[in-house]
Amino acid sequence: MRVPGRFYLSQQLMGTLEEGAVRQLANIATLPGICRNSLAMPDIHWGYGFPIGGVGAFTMDEGIISPGGVGFDINCGVRLITTPLQRSDLGQLKKVLQELYNTIPTGVGTKSCVTVSDHELNRIMTEGARWTIEEGYGTERDLLWCEEQGCIEGADISHVSQKARKRGRPQCGTLGSGNHFLEVQCVEEIFDPEAARTFGIETGQICIMIHCGSRGLGHQICTDHLKVLEGAAKKYRIPLADKQLACAPLTSPEGEAYLSAMACAANYAWANRQMITHLTREVLSRAFSLSTEDMPLVYDVTHNVAKIEEHVVDGTRTTLCVHRKGATRAFGPGSHDLPPGCDAIGQPVIIPGSMGSSSYLLRGTDGAMEKTFGSTCHGAGRVLSRSQAKKTISGDSLQESLGRSGITVLAPSAGSIAEEAPDAYKPSAEVVKVVHEAGISAKVARLNPIGVIKG
């Protein structure tokens, strides 16, 4: 290990810590150019290469880029939308939820209602959410309240294979499967009134949370470049503690090619979530006579990406490539790329729960900038694999139980409900408590699900 490994956990969560995930955290610390620490958030669990919840920052001159530090679902991320509705307005929630389910393509192999041309796909990969806005699927304000304004620079479509393009062309505007979801939520508790006002959040308010990523395009880009970087690690004589950490120097042709292809997938993901936002707004507009302006975006943030950022290291502002694998950016007050009016607050941070558990809105902090390269957790973190969850939990019974608790769940199958059961995850409240008390993000509001669409 070139640097120490550091992870954030409470005593209550120690029993969820997997030996394999800790080993992966140690493996990150062996990579060239790693800066200060390898890091893991309290949602840490075993993943491919990096543990999920892992963070690694690398210097530009000696450091590497690794797909295992980003994940297959590039720019899997979360966005939160507010409405003027209150819980009492949702008398026909099941009808509205069914309309959302019918409108937004959900599950494995689903296709968008808008199949884009090759030229349009090129624009999506290079312009991100900007393309959707120009096509009429949102407003300029949406871009301002989105990480990187919905587009990472440096995307180069020449590094995206035809197979990846073929997978991505019909999927922009689809929710996908796995842990992806759309939730109708109610704001139950405000912890920071000033930040809540800045973010447009109030108690009793109905909000929509969307969780999805770059779909087949991102998965294929990761698959394609992993093969190249496996060879590059040997070519540049980079010793790997785990072959899943296949990587290349940031300044190498192979490293630059992956970084630019990853940017294409990240931009696609932002366009995807923006398209789903538009479809959601259309459904709510018809049901409640709302305008787009009535349903503003609180924020959109990614948790599977590698980005070139500046951070202060040993008193010197340094350019780094920060890998966040199942970890969320949490830039504090005065940082670059904050939404309008957030300079004194920090960026919004969105931490989802799992169907029956609370989700949280937090804000970035100075502590995150000092300790974790502006990073925090991304969710609750699994304690059961999907196959284990399906073996031990009945999806039908869970759906009925959640219904009795006032939570309506729609999904393609009982199995897709079982594999994402709340019991398959760590308690979201405890995970958020850890990052709050560690000072790497600060609680603003707690939201409870009342309607869930699972991928």
Q: Which residues define the annotated binding site for GMP? A: 179-183, 303-304, 352-355, 359, 378-381, 454
Contact 208, 185 (CB under 8 A): yes
Element housing 98 (H / E): helix 93-103
CB atoms within 10 A of CB 167: 18
Element spanning 444, H or E: strand 442-454
Alpha carbon distance 455, 412 (integer Å): 7
- Phi-psi sector, 106: left (phi>0), alpha (psi -120 to 50), beta: beta
From 219, 311, 378, 436, the catalytic residue = 378
Beta pairing, strands 64-65 & 348-351:
unpaired
State the residue for tokens 């394609």.
224
Q: How far apart are CA 5 and CA 336, in angstroms?
A: 27
Residue type, 155: A
Measure the CA–CA gap between 95 and 289, rounded to whole angstroms.
Answer: 15
CA dist 236 and 246 (Å) reads 11
Which pair of structure tokens corresponds to residue 23? Answer: 């080993």
Terminal C-alpha separation, the chain = 39
Where do runs of H (alpha helix) occur along 14-115? 19-28, 93-103
DSSP structure class, residue 279: H
Query: Which tokens in the block code for residue 12?
Result: 């209550």
Q: Which residues are annotated as a binding site?
A: 73, 179-183, 211, 303-304, 352-355, 359, 378-381, 454
Residues of each annotated binding site for Mn(2+):
73, 180, 211, 303
**CA 171/CA 167 separation, integer angstroms:** 7
Contacts of 234 (CB under 8 A, 6+ apart): none
Phi and psi dihedrals of 43, rounded to 5? -85, 15
Helix (H, G, I), strand (E, B) or coil at 378: coil
Q: For this structure, is 378 an active site residue?
A: yes
Catalytic residues: 378
